Every structure is written in structure tokens, then in C-alpha cells.
Amino acid sequence: MLSIIEFGKDVQAPGTVMKRPCHGQVKIEGEVLRSFGKPVTASGASVPLANPVIRALSSGGLRSGLVAIFTALGLSAGAASPARAQDSVEILNVSYDPTRELYREYNDLFNDWWTAQGNPAVSVNQSHGGSGGQARAVIDGLDATVVTLALSADIDAISERTGKIPADWQSRLEHNSSPYTSTIVFLVREGNPKGLSDWGDLVKDGVQVITPNPKTSGGARWNFLAAWAWALEEYDGDEDKARDYVTALFRNVPVLDSGARGSTTTFTQRGIGDVLLAWENEAFLALQEQGEDAFDIVVPSVSVLAEPPVTLVDGNITSDAQRVAAQAYLEYLYSPEAQALAVKHFYRAWDTSAAAPEDIARFPDLKRLTIADFGGWAKVQPAFFGDGGLFDQIYEE
């Protein structure tokens, strides 16, 4: 059955009716989106099939279209059912370690925008921790509305084990559902006393390297992969030599914390180690917090393009209002304002149109490999970090 739903005055969307939840609203599935709204006409037979109009989409591209639709949807929902508009909507954003500062500010930015559209304020609760542990908490029943984790493998695990997220979740939002990206850099002590300039220097005698445990930390897995990528390139694809290199690298690690933030503390506060393998954003944050004269950032010749993804946990949604707000919460991450905020918090963003030029100038160019270059998480996870995988073998010898 087909239906056209109307969002406010100007925006209409056609689609097949999937559900009729309540309040005369319908859920439709169209070519570009699934959504809720009040139908223009009561039911399918009289809807003119030949003339599907989504005016907003035709003019401004997918993203602005979606934003416009959700804006309008918020307005119409508010107008249609004033009683429901009073219900406060709560979202729990389960995230990983280094995003604390970003989401603290983003939640305010989002709420300002969201209420300016005439929606009731959304109260966003945050939970932070090691990415893997957070995923496990969601699997074990933590009531996450959205997850914003370090690795797609962690969201895959939630999807596989609970079915609360559809398997194709990563195609639901642009750029593999990753609104911002980051990379792995070296944070060294002021003046770089050990003269560390690239991965090869980290295995020298007397160099202490700080990294979290790849078993428990998403960032540490990227550290490991970046080191591995450099070694493969250096030794012309000789895996035995690359293995010797990462073994030597981890021989130089005196402390393995369970999360990225723990390692940063060990390096910056406890004064342990000569170099911290860190998220770029975490390294910049350390500079900002500890003062520019305490540490230097060294950019290696090869690193990774880490894409921390976000998605909706469909199985935990309790109401339409919550779904709409949560969806908008994620979509708005792609808006120029939110992207500028991500850049301000030292993430690399896709849309830098609204970002301050001095913020953008901080990011040096470097060769960045994506997880696809390593064969995807489905292959990398068991081979490198699974039980008996490459990382375990390092400590078996």
C-alpha cells in the first residue's frame, strides 16, 4: 500500500506503508528513506503514483534534504500532537573513551538546533569507556539509543549478537556511517629527546612505548595495524619480518592500559615512556590540557584512516519520538556546524566549510590506510586480535 506523508507545508515523501503505529501516523519506506508522518491521503488507492514529490531533496542534495525533512517532521509532529510534544525524550549515547569533550559540546549544539526547530529538548545521556567494553555492555543489555564507537567491528558484534541493529547498518549514513575520522600519531616529550621520527625508531633499545591493550581498546588496534602497515611496507611485504618488528615493538611497552585515556594518563601524568601511540585527537587534547611546551606531536610516514562509526540501536527504541530525535541526533553530526565542532575537537571531518581555518591547518597530510586495505575487520579481528592471533603470539614467545 502506498501513501504520501507530509512534513510541514513544503515537504512530502511517498512510500510503501510499512506500519501504522499510532496517532494516525504511518511508517513508510520510500526510495531514499524510511520515515514516520501523517499521511496526506488516507490510504493507497487514491495516491497518484506518477508524481512522487520530494521538493527538498531535488534541490539540496541528500543531506540537506534529510535535514529539512527531519526539521519539518519535528515541526509537524509538534503541531499534530501537542500532548506528546510535552513528553521529554531521552537518548543514551554509548560512546568510546576520547569523545567525552566532543559529545559534551555536541549535545548542546544539537539541542540548540533541535529546539530552534520547535522540538522539545532532548536529554542526552553519555556513557564513555573502552570501545570493546562499551559494545559488550550494550550486548549485555545496556539500553543504548545510539552507539558511537571506535570500530565498526564493535558495532558488528552488537548487530550479530543481539539483532538490535540491522546487518547493513554501516550503509545507513554517509561515509560508512563515520561522521568524523582520525589517525594515529606519536606524542613525544618536549623536544623529542630520543629523536623518534618514524615507526622504525620505536624498536630501538631503551625506547619505551606506551599504547593501550589491543584486546580491550579500539585505538590500540589501530596502533597495531599502523605499525604492521609500516613494517610490511618497509620489508617489502615480508610477514615474518613484520612480525619480528611488532614483537620488538611490544617488547618496548612497559604498561598496557585497558583504554586510550588510561594510556594518555600514564604517559602525561605518570611520566612513563618516551612515546605514546595515540589518536590524533587525543594527542592534540593532551597538548591543549598539558601545555604546548610539555609534548610534541610526531607524524609518522604511514598511518591509518580510522573511521569511528555511529548508528542507531533500533532494538532499543521505545517510541517514535525517540527514534526521530535519535535519528536527527546522528544526521546532524554531518551538518557543517557539527563538522566544525568535530574539527575543533581535533577530529578530521568531511565538511570543513564552517570550520575555523586555523583548526584545519593543524592536520598534516600523511598516507592513511583504511581497514579495507587490511582486508576488513571480519578478517583482521580474528587474525590479529582474536584468541591465539598475532597479538597473542607476541607474548607466547
Partner 1 sequence: MRANTWRSPSPMPGFGLSFGIMLAVLSIVVLLPIGALLGRGIAIGPADLWDMVNSRRVWAALGLSFRSALVASIFNLVFGLILAWVLVRYRFWGRRFIDAAVDLPFALPTAVAGIALTALYAPNGVFGQALAQLGIQVAYTELGIWMALIFIGLPFVVRTVQPVIEELESELEEASATLGAARIYTLRRVILPTLTPALLTGFALAMARSVGEYGSVIFIAGNIPNLTEIAPLLIVIRLEEYNYDAAAAIGIAMLLISFAMLLAINIIQIWSRRRIGLV
Quote helix, strand, coil % in the chain, to nearest 5.
Answer: 45, 20, 35
Residue 267 sits in the site that holds partner 1 (CB under 8 A): no
| CB closer to partner 1 out of 81 and 258 | 258
| CB closer to partner 1 out of 293 and 358 | 293
| CB closer to partner 1 out of 33 and 150 | 150
Q: Scan residues 133-192 and list those touching partner 1 (CB under 8 A).
A: 133, 136, 139, 157, 161
Per the listing, cell 615512556 goes with 273
Cα 79 to Cα 14, 76, 188, 220, 386: the distances in Å are: 21, 5, 56, 48, 52
Binding region for partner 1 (CB under 8 A) out of 172-180, 339-347, 364-372, 382-390 = 382-390
| 14, 30, 37, 132: residue in contact with partner 1 (rule CB under 8 A) | 132
| 19, 104, 270, 379: residue in contact with partner 1 (rule CB under 8 A) | 270
**From the centroid of its chain, how far is CA 69?**
23
Cα 53 to Cα 5, 30, 76, 211: the distances in Å are: 10, 11, 18, 53
Please state, as a whole number, how many other Cβ atoms lie within 10 Å of the Cβ of residue 359.
18
**How many of the chain's residues bind partner 1 (CB under 8 A)?**
26
Per the listing, cell 519506506 goes with 29
| CB closer to partner 1 out of 157 and 185 | 157
Residue 215 sits in the site that holds partner 1 (CB under 8 A): yes
Q: Which of 35, 34, 18 lies closest to 76, judged by CA?
A: 35
Q: Per the structure block, which three cell numbers stand in for 112? A: 540548540
Residue 271 sits in the site that holds partner 1 (CB under 8 A): yes
What counts of helices (H) and strands (E) characterise the chain?
15, 17
Binding region for partner 1 (CB under 8 A) out of 61-69, 180-188, 265-273, 297-305 = 265-273
To the nearest whole angstrom, how small is the minimum distance from the Cβ of residue 380 to partner 1?
14
Residue numbers at the binding site for partner 1 (CB under 8 A): 130, 132-133, 136, 139, 157, 161, 213, 215-216, 253-258, 269-272, 385-387, 392, 395-396
